[in-house]
Amino acid sequence: MAKDDLKDEQCSIARPVALLGDRWTLILLRQAFTGVRRFDQFQTTMGLSRAVLAQRLAQLVDAGIFERTAYKDERRTRYEYRLTDKGMDLYPILMALRTWGDKYLAPDGPFLLYRHRDCGGHAEVLHACDRCGSELTARDVVVELGPGLTASS
């Protein structure tokens, strides 16, 4: 199955993978969450070709993850790429990947520490029940059919 085929799957994991699953998109989002907004900043910090960067940014704008906003420099109009609410909702996913990477792929410890701006505590990703607040693992969850699944699947 090709990655593009995933976008039509009736699966809430396959569809995001189709959109976000290439090797540059998550890194581009990481940069956006650190405050990078301008094309040249993305290119400089990522070392990505202009063509690939333009394509990824266009995909993310089309998907509603970034908003393209005009600004003026000395000579011409340029554009910034700002995360939308939909884009901001990807933050826990990136932080979950970071947590996993720190645990399994950084034998000398985390490359960066993420701290709560207000109190200085470590920023952690928690998965919790929306009813009782209990922290959840895969063993604590039962999967059921949802309303978005059609009979043809």
List, for residues 6-48, the tens digit of each pLDDT value: 877 888 889 999 999 998 999 999 999 999 999 999 999 999 9
> Bridge partners of 122?
115
Q: What is the pLDDT of residue 150?
A: 73
Q: Which domains does the chain have, with CATH numbers?
A: 3-140 (1.10.10.10)
Distances in Å between the Cα of 43 and the Cα atoms of 1, 48, 124 are 31, 5, 29
Alpha carbons 114 and 39: distance in angstroms, whole number: 25
For residue 101, the model assigns a pLDDT of: 95
Residue 100 pLDDT greater than 80, yes or no: yes
